[in-house]
Structure 1
């Protein structure tokens, strides 16, 4: 987690080794070794890493020092985060990894998004003609998708890495065995989920070990069950996860949730089968590409909406000159561009294997010119805006559709926001680079904080609840691109992003935060590229997020609401709702990134304060 004051001495904890004979019993008596606090920024050479947790960042740096590349480092960091940040990043979830291959000068992406079981259909989410209440779906076996994390790691390593899982899972195994000191962030996250976790015997056993309560701050948290699972995967690869004992345990957990005898309510069962796990595939996808003021921007294609929404919003902003406007006026344009981008993202983006996503239209400069007409530079839209029609701007319109005609079955109306579309959804972001110039920007998740709340008994990891990322219209027969279907991957907001100038990388970044991921990355880019803020300052700046909700309001952190710009925006008609701890919510985002400097150095940055702050390191610090 975000442990600025506790860490493990990297030379001891993360020494490269493939030894598998350390007994969990002896590890249980070991104490975590303290280390210097994490720092949110580091500049130097030889490679870099930034994550939310100092242990994960240190694991990545040790891999780089030992000759591994950026992909190897990202997987090692993710493995550690599965232990220290289990409510955000775990092998029961999935993610999107964007990779720059320096030798080939190309960008590729690994989609290991969770997938709907084949027996899942939209009817399971409706009762008496209405959607099942979201809290009932959130904490259930029904919400669990087929995890993609392990297969995604393996595919990324086989194609683009230099090490295998047997090596790269060792840091995570050691942390799981030796434990880590509980900090306030981990304690608070656990405390928020106590009632959910108590529903399941397996979850209470692992995450509520203090007689049904969270481990107190300062205590040592260990997860020997997860260490066992990591060992099985280290020895057997993804096959050990998707077939055999782990797969059987996952299916049993989904179809027969381990509900406590005294649970106050029933828990819905899921429909996952062993064949769903055995047949899971990670996808190698072409990234989406757009340009912005001379920069080239790469992002994830569908089923993530992050790259498409970001590209459209930047195209809209490109029509305005930031130096010709006040900061308040440009922030107004940023909010209105976000509003329009979210309207289109919600209407059109879904799994491309099930839906005709108008990628070329959404990223068309001509479409942005037309869509920009909906922005009033003088005032904010008073409510949610309708989607535009990017199909009219497709480079190669479908022969079954006349240009200018919306895609059949598409809903142009804004759906009410999901009850889960709030700031407390957990995800995490990892950014790495190596001495050869390879770069990874990687967002992974189990969806809600703590996923579905169900831990696989005996294996120590929580299952995702990604099926809640599908849209559920008021009627089960209402058309929408992102409704549940067998084998479908739900739309995501994850937005790992790479920015280039003249063919060379300039910036890699990404963030957690549910749908606020998109606006966090967008506002950081605006702060850095348009408003000239140094990267760490751009990351730390107060945030405001507009996502086209029905009442037209934007969410803003208290620090933003106190600025002169906020007052000026209110005069333009903007309405704000509070976000962040003062409103009982998490802050907006917790970004990590790397800046590639003209002198050949790199600057890694991590969120300095939100969610407890993060950790940035380089292999060879600048003296």
Structure 2
């Protein structure tokens, strides 16, 4: 069995993969030497959609802080990136306050309606009916974005919600120019969106044909909703005409959400989870996100190995990382859920002692079959269409925000007369404990459906601190792969000395316990590396690219902000001044 770092000092222990594999891996790494980040002196915004990025940058230029810019970006994305940006979804924001040195987590995850029941997604035979939890009125959780943005502003911002909403209102009224990315997504999701007349009326032409790149889409109903929010605050969304229209649309689609459910929604401020990794403090989102807990858990395990010596994406490094990942995802299946409803053992899961225990069960030479791994004995995947943005202002305040509708365009349903696309986040609950959801993640009783409960998430907005100040602000979409994507950006910079662009561009891997396979990006690993992993007993599954990180590195020594938007998605932008 493999032992901690001190027991691995001999280089002979690591001569396990063919020399040719290490040579190829070194060549792949050296090819990234020319990858340079965007740089700025004062402030920076990194967003998956370029127009929204410019909105955030303008707020910073006009004297707003990182939270002001973050709220303006979030509201603008509801217009410019409708498959993920939203008013009808929810998410998590991590805020670092430079003056106090504190970092706090804002939880604006959706909540189950008061009528929700544990077995609401089971058919007459007791089997989970995925249609009910994904494409039906019962799929919609009570949205949290508007309440979350208001809570962020009133706690940490300097602008009003009306001021932050102004750019989004202008974009919705004047229209957005259709990009190739938007046009492609609307073509791909035609069936889902055209199921709902209100959605079809917004995202397709009157004759049902597609919008093409260069066309303009106007969203007057969404503009009117944003104006109500600007004038009345969250009450303009959670009460009155907009709330009535949302409830009516959900009920017409078979759901039971009420205006009372909307009026009762609350966003909350939580203490983030934190841990240490090779001289850095890792601060991330606590439950009901599983992301922060398991990023820290995996890093704790990896800290006991000389990862930098083993090499970036070498077979040895990937083997150890995958073994740590699969054990974290096994724990996720049992222990993680809404902390207001379940006792989540975060301290135990993120302890160095538990990581040492995990290392004792990892073999250097052989993969451990997932069917032999159970959740540890201690003393659901969002769609790829989640989106993340990172912001650092001139005073050193930082925002890391990840939010979503779940699937691309959520349930596909727009609440008639509001322009608000509605989420299908209820699918992130365990419809039937022990049964995988659409993305292969298994949940237990801690994530069972209950009224007023927030579903478990993988969203992992993260801020890495060095000497108490932001070093890296990062996060990603990608469902169950959010955790491992964010983890690898952190490791790439700390363990392998990459700049933020290299860390972003580097090939990614993923293991989530079940299915028992290492998912790798197509073309990301050399044949020799794959062969070495297979020789250790790993099953390799080649798939499409993973994640879309938006990251900012604060280089205190050079006095620079260095940023990178993931090239895996088109249309993103990192901008600064």
TM-score, normalising length: structure 1: 0.83
2 CA distance for matches of 1:578 and 1:225? 42
Moved more, 539-548 or 565-574: 565-574
Check the 8 A contact 1:194/1:213 in 2, yes or no: no
CA drift of 1:521 comes to 0.4
CA drift of 1:614 comes to 1.6
SS in 2 for 1:104: coil
Provide closer, same or farther for how the CA distance between residues 105 and 474 of structure 1 changes in structure 2, counting only shifts above 3 A. closer
Provide closer, same or farther for how the CA distance between residues 275 and 40 of structure 1 changes in structure 2, counting only shifts above 3 A. farther
Provide closer, same or farther for how the CA distance between residues 106 and 186 of structure 1 changes in structure 2, counting only shifts above 3 A. same
SS in 2 for 1:351: coil
Aligned to 1:280: 265
| 1:204 equivalent among 177, 200, 206 | 200
Provide closer, same or farther for how the CA distance between residues 434 and 158 of structure 1 changes in structure 2, counting only shifts above 3 A. same
CA drift of 1:563 comes to 5.4
| 1:318 equivalent among 300, 303, 306 | 303
Aligned to 1:70: 66
Is residue 336 of structure 1 aligned with residue 331 of structure 2? no
Aligned to 2:342: 355
1:363-402 paired onto structure 2 within 5 Å: 363-389=350-376, 391-392=378-379
CA drift of 1:210 comes to 5.1
SS in 2 for 1:130: coil
CA drift of 1:217 comes to 2.4
SS in 1 for 2:93: strand
2 CA distance for matches of 1:54 and 1:41? 16
Check the 8 A contact 2:250/2:256 in 1, yes or no: yes
CA drift of 1:136 comes to 4.1
User: Residue by residue, what CA displacement relative to the aligned partner does 1:87-117 show, whole Å, maximum 9, x if unpaired?
Assistant: 1120000110001000001101110000000
User: Residue by residue, what CA displacement relative to the aligned partner does 1:478-498 show, whole Å, maximum 9, x if unpaired?
Assistant: 962111001100000000011
TM-score, normalising length: structure 2: 0.89
User: Residue by residue, what CA displacement relative to the aligned partner does 1:486-545 show, whole Å, maximum 9, x if unpaired?
Assistant: 110000000001111121211110000111100100111121211222111111112111
SS in 1 for 2:181: helix
Check the 8 A contact 1:49/1:617 in 2, yes or no: yes
Aligned to 1:496: 461
2 CA distance for matches of 1:40 and 1:459? 42
Moved more, 222-231 or 206-215: 206-215
Provide closer, same or farther for how the CA distance between residues 309 and 474 of structure 1 changes in structure 2, counting only shifts above 3 A. closer
Check the 8 A contact 1:506/1:596 in 2, yes or no: yes
CA drift of 1:390 comes to 5.2
Is residue 50 of structure 1 aligned with residue 43 of structure 2? no
Is residue 290 of structure 1 aligned with residue 275 of structure 2? yes
2 CA distance for matches of 1:520 and 1:135? 29
CA drift of 1:339 comes to 0.9
- C-alpha RMSD of the superposition: 1.8
Aligned to 1:300: 285
Is residue 242 of structure 1 aligned with residue 219 of structure 2? no
CA drift of 1:384 comes to 4.4
SS in 2 for 1:103: coil
2 CA distance for matches of 1:94 and 1:433? 22
CA drift of 1:328 comes to 2.2
Unaligned runs of 5+ in 1: 1-38, 258-268, 393-417, 581-586
Is residue 454 of structure 1 aligned with residue 399 of structure 2? no
CA drift of 1:562 comes to 4.2
Check the 8 A contact 2:335/2:444 in 1, yes or no: no
CA drift of 1:567 comes to 3.2
Is residue 126 of structure 1 aligned with residue 122 of structure 2? yes
Size of the aligned set, in residue pairs, is: 533
Check the 8 A contact 1:339/1:384 in 2, yes or no: no
CA drift of 1:554 comes to 2.0
Check the 8 A contact 2:121/2:130 in 1, yes or no: no
Check the 8 A contact 1:426/1:449 in 2, yes or no: yes
Check the 8 A contact 2:37/2:500 in 1, yes or no: no
Aligned to 1:594: 552
Check the 8 A contact 1:607/1:613 in 2, yes or no: no
Check the 8 A contact 1:92/1:446 in 2, yes or no: yes
SS in 2 for 1:123: coil
2 CA distance for matches of 1:282 and 1:241? 14
Is residue 98 of structure 1 aligned with residue 104 of structure 2? no
Check the 8 A contact 2:132/2:139 in 1, yes or no: no
Provide closer, same or farther for how the CA distance between residues 281 and 40 of structure 1 changes in structure 2, counting only shifts above 3 A. farther
